[in-house]
Structure 1
Amino acid sequence: MRAPPVIRLVVLSASLLALPSWAVEDCQFKGKPINLDNGNSTAGITGTVRCVDRDTKKESHTVAYRDGKKDGWEVRRWSDGRAVEQEYKANKRHGGFKRYEDGRLLETSTYADDNERGEGVRYHPNGKVSHRVDRQPEDTKSTYADYDDTGRLKEAGCGLQSSREAGIKDCVWKGPSPLVFFHANGQKKSVIPLKNGLREGVTESFDDQGQRTSASSYAAGLRDGLSTVYSGAIPRRSTTYAKGQMEGEETEYFKDGARKLVTTWKDRKKLKRVEYFQNGERKSEFVVTGERAVESQFEDDGSLRQRQALALDEGKHRFEPHGVTESFFPDGGAQSREHFVQGRSEGQRQVWADNGVLVEDSQWAKDRVTARKRWNPDGGLVEDDAFYEDGSRKKRP
């Protein structure tokens, strides 16, 4: 009497994506029942195990073995047209992978030693490629490309963990020049001239209405020359590069196109920063010379309001007041003059009224006033004091 077939309840792995959670199978090997979940049943076998769905009686699962290990293709099929095919070698995923839905190919991939390697492809419902990858052991050498359902390229680049767009240095694009990316509505997203697979010349980007949003000069895959960001055809920011590093002027603009901020770079260091009023006059200026700097503030008519000497505090990684700080009235007359050492008031501080009369003359040590005289604008003395370290006035004898 023939033994009844072994019933196998298969729990599908999450990697099978949206496939039915449960299926009851009857499995046989060379006409005899076999339990694929029992290692003793499959020990040492060579050949193909075949399973049928208990309800439909149709073949639902086949697995190739060699010496008791999966070796060859494992295929699972469902009555609604979904299917998964995975190739194995010595119980490890090795070789091809395919996934179907409604009988239509959705995805292919390649494995090596149980890891995805090499080319992988996903498809749109119309059969056109939607995503293509080439996985390499070193992630930076992996490549990817995304396409819309008409076959137009949406984006492409290198690295699946930390991606870089195609044509950037160390991410060579093997396709034709120019490389063109598209928006979902068919408008061009980027036009990228290439030389030897790297960006060369001016790369332009556009919004989905065809309005230019940026233009950047490249040489051998690195920014080299002027890069400009636009808003409504008006420049909003432009930066000069040399071999991938900011070198020269970086300019930010007001909405009307007038300069707002100009920063000068050299060797990755900020040498000068000039901020402007919208009327074109300077608002502030910061100029660096080695470890010293001068910062100036201006009124909107161009007159100097304040000028301050600074020195680099390497511990704080910033410039602190060091030297003379002066402020001025709109007519150019002196309003105040004080001395700093490493960010602290140190030495003499003087203040004038707008009629030119000295109204304060004080001495400071480490941000603390030690002596102070004050006068009315008409010259009358109103204070003449010395101070203790706690800030209290010294009593007169």
Structure 2
Amino acid sequence: MKIKTICAVLGASLLYSAMAQAEIVQRLVVTAMASEPDSEGGDVFTIAGTTACGGKQIRMDARSVNLDEAPYEALKVQLAERMRARTPMLVTVKKCPEDASVPIVRQIAACTPAACADGRARLYLHEGFYPIEQENAPNVLLLPLPKGKLPGTWKVEIVSVAGHKLRLSGQVNKADYASGELVGGYVTYYPNGKIEKQVAQDGQGRQHGIGSKYYPDGTLELRGNWRHGMPEGEHQRYHATGKLSETSSYRNGQRLDGPVQTFDENGKPSTSYTLRGGKMEGEMLTYFPDGKVSSRSEMQNGKSNGVTTNYYPDGAVHARMTQVNDLPTGEALEFYPDGKVQSRQQYGDKGGLLSIQRYSPQGVLVLERRWDAQWREQGTSRSWYENGKPEQAIEYVNDRRDGWSRSWHEDGSLKGECRYLAGKAQGACGEAPPAPAPELQRKEQAWRAL
């Protein structure tokens, strides 16, 4: 698994594809500066010992340390004094070059006891274990890496900056962590020290063998077998309660067809459906905790195609709609527990809501709105009190108020009115421009959530 690419572990990402700027920080003693700049105009310095990149030289210029020429010259004067005194410096290089060139200095400063406790180089890492700037890094890796157990590998032990807790243990196939691949298996840990993931790998860094993922309290979340980077055999997913959520079976990286059952956090059936060609097909059922059906949907090619019905716990119909490729179409109905209509919603061919009528439990129309095919509100949107008297009437053209907006008290007397043109109030507006009722403030797409 490359450090610079995404790695999926039982469906969970470990590392990210985008690499931020690496920073390697090390205590170094600078002993000499070359008499002439290099071919690019930079200053080359010799150090005692070796850098984390393996050489005995570092390169620096005004641009690399983000200084103008005058401050940079002053920095070199101070550095010359410390070179004569052989004062240790805290040096930050951008990264180890992939070729044989000299690493470029990003920062250089006099050591402090806290920052220069030892001469080990440190590579600072993101929560996802890729290199980033030191000031934003929660994790750190000491360099150079020691030899690993497997031939041609180097041992990796990433720890947290704050508590020095182990966060990742494994091995890479290059001495340079950032350009290497994790091979032979690795383990990641939560900040509390408990294991987060255990990943078995083959020699090429592909997931191979049993992989596991855990909740922060140590409860198993996922476990499954892999063969050279592909899921194979049974995979189990668990709730935080420890109860089985779902079992799935794979062959040659493909999920096997057949009936599927999922369970809730108490171990009760949650959903049931059938896979054909790796996609849901036929009837899909969801269940209440007592085992009664809470919804049934007609599935085709992995999407809802046909009638979807939702139920109340007593079995009464709560809602019914028709879908085509997961999008609602035609009339959708929602019911009160006693069977009376709660709402009627009309959808277009592409799933857009065209109209809605909502009713009180007594069967009184309390809301009416309309939209065009571009989902823009059109015409007069009305709401009524449950006694049947008008509450608001707002005229819309292309999603903006255009015409009269009026509101009434519950006794039927006028509360306020205002005339609008293209969304702007015209002239005096009575007591106050009427604010839309809560029902009118929402462009309801309730059936999309079913």
- TM-score tier by shorter-chain length is 0.3 to 0.5
TM-score, normalisation: structure 1:
0.46
Higher relative contact order (CA 8 A, sep 6+): 2
Q: Which has the larger radius of gyration?
A: 1
More strand by share: 1
